[in-house]
Structure 1
Amino acid sequence: MNIILVPGLWLDASSWDAVVPALERSGHSVHALTMPGVGVPAAQSDRIGIADWVDAVVDEIDRSSGLVVLVGHSGGGNVVYGAADARPERVARIVFVDTFPPGDGGSIWEFPVVDGVIPFPGWDFFEDQEIADLDEPTRARVAATAKTVPALVPTDPLRLHDERRRRVPVTMLTGTVPAAEIRDIIASAPDWAEELAAVQDLDIVELHSGHWPQFSQPDNLAAEIVSAAGR
């Protein structure tokens, strides 16, 4: 199976380095991506938006032979969902890593813009449960390698067009929201979770991690991705 790995904000393809070997040992062809404009000054990235990130994943799907599994971490979940909307017939499964499927018009989040780009905001920006399993050396290493993000990307609305995306099987690997809470959200179906409630084939797996399991428990994350790809 072709597995396409899409990082969240401030991360590039190298953020998956500890995960990729186990996926490859399981026989998968792995494509870890760096999104357009990441780490690029505003003069070269100020027009790059979420649609460009989706297009980059769609291009990778089109280069692949056969079906693909799309894995999106955090804000990368919006990206892979947009790509699945564009190529639903090519996607065997979507794997969300500690994130939710967005609805039409949804965006990632709003972050401070500095010099026309969005730098990593520092660990104090995040809630304790999101970072509790990252030790200090890991935090220092990730922060030192974090890259800026084009200013438009986090607030750009994602546009969805093909309801066949809802028939693509989904696995949610949740680190910070208990599975029972996610099921309660589905049952109550608030407007912001309409897309989640509409997914027709959904597995929810608790990682018992923070928001960055690719750094805190890469072996377990890889095993769960392999399991999801085999379903």
Structure 2
Amino acid sequence: MTSHTETTPIILVPGHWLGAWAWDEVVEHLAATGYRASALTLPGLDPADQDRAKRILTDQVAALDTAVRACGAPVTLVAHSGANGPVTTLLDRSPELVERVVWVDSGPASDGLAFAPDFPEDLAGLPLPDFDALGEQASLAGLSEATLDRFRERAVAEPAGVLREPVRLGNDARYEVPTTFVCCSLPSAQVRELATAGHPMFAEVPRFADARYVDLATGHWPMWSRPRELAEIIAAKAGARPAR
């Protein structure tokens, strides 16, 4: 007998400079095994948006909220890197809409955190840095020259308003949402050590009641370097159930 079990919706949110396209291979792998997965281009990252430079973090949170509610059921949110601002804010405002959050080489933001609060007022956005400089900030391990070329070609400058606006949080219920940390450029043991030591970038990690850790040894962009393995982790840890 064939079972038609409903799958948990999975929404994948890319980090800085990226649109939904960054998740194409992961979405393909998830869809091939029956999972309901879609990726989101946050406001300010759509090159067709003529006003994209004016977008702020509040706009991104609103768009994410709309996408989550449109699913009609609690979702698994997958956040890569700089997506932690809007995803943490959504988690704070509406924890009942999230079944699990999966942080991909990322983690929850703290109240009052802004990515670049002192970003120059005369600049509209932050373009993708050259790869030598970027590689000093985040590991490029596993990325081919072709992948780097695509990254450069499709990257969109991160709007200044997104970089400057601080995250505002106040609902401790977010800590009750089951959480998975996919650790790539830093192994899980080091993440735990930094969290225990109170490192500001990991200060929120110990406060989540149900936190799981998965190591995926690669660089900061595993959706390109190891997309199949990342899709398998998301499917296994997100609580989704494939249709049969």
Same fold (TM over 0.5): yes
Letter in 1 for 2:214: V
Unaligned runs of 5+ in 1: none
The yes-or-no answer on 1:105 pairing with 2:106 is: no
Once residues 43 and 185 of structure 2 are traced to their aligned partners in structure 1, the CA distance between those partners, rounded to angstroms, is: 28
Report what 1:45 is aligned to: 52
Report what 1:203 is aligned to: 212
Q: Percent identity?
A: 35
Q: 1:41 to 1:23 in 2, by over 3 A?
A: closer
Contact 1:209 1:217 in 2 (8 A): yes
Q: Give the length in aligned residue pairs.
A: 231
Contact 1:81 1:94 in 2 (8 A): no
Report what 1:168 is aligned to: 177
TM-score (norm 2): 0.87
**Where do 1:1-231 residues align within 5 Å?**
1-40=8-47, 44-109=51-116, 116-127=124-135, 130-230=139-239
Once residues 41 and 113 of structure 1 are traced to their aligned partners in structure 2, the CA distance between those partners, rounded to angstroms, is: 24
Q: 1:109 to 1:174 in 2, by over 3 A?
A: farther
TM-score (norm 1): 0.91
* Displacement of 1:87: 1.1
* Displacement of 1:197: 1.6
Once residues 181 and 109 of structure 1 are traced to their aligned partners in structure 2, the CA distance between those partners, rounded to angstroms, is: 25
Contact 1:42 1:150 in 2 (8 A): no
* Displacement of 1:187: 2.2
* Displacement of 1:115: 5.5
Contact 2:44 2:56 in 1 (8 A): no
Q: CA RMSD in A?
A: 2.2
Unaligned runs of 5+ in 2: 1-7
SS in 2 for 1:14: helix
SS in 1 for 2:45: coil
Once residues 123 and 8 of structure 1 are traced to their aligned partners in structure 2, the CA distance between those partners, rounded to angstroms, is: 16
SS in 2 for 1:57: helix
* Displacement of 1:39: 4.4
Once residues 163 and 224 of structure 1 are traced to their aligned partners in structure 2, the CA distance between those partners, rounded to angstroms, is: 27
Larger Rg: 2
SS in 2 for 1:36: coil
Once residues 212 and 79 of structure 1 are traced to their aligned partners in structure 2, the CA distance between those partners, rounded to angstroms, is: 19
